[in-house]
Structure formats: structure tokens, C-alpha cells
Chain A
Amino acid sequence: DQQVKQNSPSLSVQEGRISILNCDYTNSMFDYFLWYKKYPAEGPTFLISISSIKDKNEDGRFTVFLNKSAKHLSLHIVPSQPGDSAVYFCAARMKTSYDKVIFGPGTSLSVIP
């Protein structure tokens, strides 16, 4: 039972254009959402996050949008750069004593020069 879903396993985008990575979740108890970026043979790197009380958070080229009613969030990268090519994991946190985070399966983004 996958609580965090990323239905696109891969995405290709031309350099300079917008990359949109989507994520859906099923558990309404999630109160905080994160995006991580991962290169091969490395651990994930935290990218950006959003609290459930917000619907948008922006950090430079990265913007995350949250639609609570649809249980959907998306990461927008604009403009996309070749160095953005990586696997992007959507993650959701349930407020428990251990701040457990559930990861989606990831979307592999390729930015074509």
C-alpha cells in the first residue's frame, strides 16, 4: 500500500524549459512534504519542503505547490538545467514522535542540453 505515489517513473525536458514533477499521497495525516534529489551512488539531498498550512513555497528555481483537497503536490523547476538531471523523491511526514518520513518511488528527470 503505497502512501506516497509518483506515477511518472521518468521525465525528459529540454534545457531552459520547465520541469514539473508530480506527487500524490493518500494519508490525510501527513502534515509536511519534502522533495529530495538523488544522484547515482549518493544519498538523497534535501531540496525544498512545504508545510500543510501553505499551498506554495519557492526557493530560487524550485517551487513546490500543494493542493490538500486533491492530496497532490508538484515540484516545478524553471529554467531546467542539465545539472538537474537526477532522481527526485517526493516525501511526506506524519507528525509522530519520531517524525517518520515516507518516500515515493522517485521520478528520474533528464534535462537535455
Chain B
Amino acid sequence: GAVVSQHPSRVICKSGTSVKIECRSLDFQATTMFWYRQFPKKSLMLMATSNEGSKATYEQGVEKDKFLINHASLTLSTLTVTSAHPEDSSFYICSAQAPNQPQHFGDGTRLSIL
């Protein structure tokens, strides 16, 4: 089946640093990738949608300068949390999608900012 690899699975870092999370589709070409954030006991909140080779579309309330998304190829998208602060601590999940197929999710990244 389709596999989406997300790395790293866990990050602990100091306030003010920038953190990059990678999302790779391993056995299919993902024309679209999505980035979600999940708060404890809450649903997945879509942050942004990215199509390969074009700028990401951010959801309302998500700061594009804070959460930089790059979708450089059909198999790789990255999310960079810039100048991270404790309130950015969360579980971030990516998903990848081929045309007319369901999204397939990575296993998420637990980000903890001290």
C-alpha cells in the first residue's frame, strides 16, 4: 500500500529555533500534500495545502511566514516552523495524495518547544 514517511517523529528544541519537518511519499507521486496540526483531544486542523511546484495555500489564521511550506518535488514536502515558541508545541501531521485518491498520512511529528 501507499506509504508516507514523516521525519523526524519527535523534536525537542529551545524557543527561538527553527524546525524543519519532512514529508515523503515513498511509492507514489503526490501531486498534493497537506499539513495538519492536532491539539490534544482535538481533531486534525488543516494548516495548508501545497501542490508541487507552486505556492502553498494557507488556511485562515495560519501564518505563512511562521509556517514555511515547500513542495519541491512530487515526493517531498517540508514544513519549517520558524522561530518556534512554546505555543507552537503540537503534533504535526502531513498527508500526501495522488489525483483522485484518498490522502495517505505520515505518522506525525511531536514538536515540543522549551
Interface residues in chain A, defined as those with a beta carbon under 8 Å from any beta carbon in chain B: 34, 36, 41-46, 49, 89, 98-106
Residue-wise, chain B 25-45 has the 8 Å CB interface mask toward A (1 for contact) of 000000010101000001110
Interface size bracket, B side: 20 to 34
Residues of B within 8 A of A (CB): 4, 6, 32, 34, 36, 42-44, 46, 49, 51, 57, 93-95, 97, 102-108, 110
Rounded to whole angstroms, the CA-CA distance of A100 and B59 in the bound complex is 11
* Cβ contact of B97, chosen from A43, A44, A99, A104, cutoff 8 A: A99
Contact A98 B32 (CB under 8 A): yes
Bound complex: CA of A34 vs CA of B44, how far in Å?
14
Q: B51 — which chain A residues lie within 8 A by C-beta? A: 98
Q: Is the CB of B43 within 8 A of A34?
A: no
Closest to A32 in B: B102
Bound Cα distance A16, B10 (Å):
36
CB-contact partner of B107 in A42, A89, A99, A105, under 8 A: A42
Hey, which chain B residues are within 8 Å of A89, CB to CB?
Answer: 43-44
